Amino acid sequence: MRSKWFSSEPESERFELFRKVSINGLPVERSSYSSFAGVLPISLPDGIRAIVYPDAHAPACHWGVLRGIFNFAEWFRPHLIFNSGDFNDMYALSRHPKSPKIPVPSDPQEEIEASADLLRLSMQNGPASSKEGRPFWTVIIRGNHEGREESALANFNPVWARYLSPGSRESITSAQSLMNFSADEPITFISGTGETGGFDGAALLNEHVKVKHGRMVKSIPGESARATYEKEQISIIMGHTHRLGDSAFETKNGELLFGIDGGCLVDWRRPEFDYSTLDHNWHLGFTVLIVHNGRVHAQPVPIFASPDASGQIFQWFTYCDQSGEIVVFRCLDD
């Protein structure tokens, strides 16, 4: 039987540790960016725990798998969560051709609302969690899909992008404004330099690990992240590829670089992914971060599929508690 929590520190102690986090050189309570363009430095003290959610493409996300991760998050009690981009899909606004045999599954407003639901559920470890154990801050690194709604609105009337939302204090065409996030909520959206979407924004953790969406795509899991850290010469946790894999490399000066393709949380049976093929090589999974001796230690967590006694397929994953016992988490059915 698993322990009640991964770590049993009191909630007040967990919060005091979080207060030692600094963003761009300032204590977290004084650096409440609602948005940031570029690479945002974040300093994490020892003992900090975090979860990195990869591409989910709401509303085409795999809600059964997400419920399993929310169950894990309630047990793990992360101080922060990161999202490596493409939390929404905006299929209705895609410039790519769509098969006339496959109906558009939703309109843009439905996709915006599903995306907001996904992020808010992540921010509270799922709908059934208690207030204790919830992450204190959420960092979203925008992917290439989050810009579709902004481009559609700005292309129709460029002046709209120059108006600010009273709630978010961002452009009314931005994803956070459309999802009704306010400037005082504990969430930061990172974009590329010049507030361009998708590929160039990142969170820089303890000066040696970047969490980003990424742009390189290799067919072998883990190779996209490897190519990225070889190019940038810094450890990488990335999304974009929908593949799960990792690799590590020791440089000539003895520094260890690692790269993680963070997997995905999508339901590829959905029509949003009609561009994929049967050998798309995608993998369900997420990444867990723990800081020790100033270093960010990252563990990709694959999600497996197995038949139960009745022959029905279900998803599951494992994680070790602090005593070394393997804890099994079953993903709830859709």
Neighbours of 315 (CB within 10 A): 18
What is residue 203's three-state secondary structure? strand
d(CA 6, CA 298): 16
* pLDDT tens column, 183-236: 889 999 998 876 666 678 999 999 999 999 988 888 888 889 999 999 999 999
Domain locations in the chain as residue ranges? 11-330
List, edge to edge, every strand of the sheet that includes 187-191. 35-37, 187-191, 137-141, 80-83, 49-53, 285-292, 295-302
- DSSP assignment letter at 195: G
Give residue 277's pLDDT band: very low, low, confident or very high (50, 70, 90). low
Give residue 47's pLDDT band: very low, low, confident or very high (50, 70, 90). very high
Tell me the pLDDT of the chain averaged across its residues: 87
- DSSP assignment letter at 193: G
d(CA 72, CA 318): 9
Structure token digits, residue 169:
């204090």
- DSSP assignment letter at 91: G
- DSSP assignment letter at 272: G
Q: Is the pLDDT of residue 1 over 60?
A: no
Domain 11-330 = CATH 3.60.21.10? yes
d(CA 122, CA 138): 9
d(CA 248, CA 259): 6
Q: Quick check: 167 and 180 in contact, CB under 8 A?
A: yes
Predicted local confidence at residue 106, as pLDDT: 66
- Cα of first residue to Cα of last residue in the chain, in angstroms, is 25
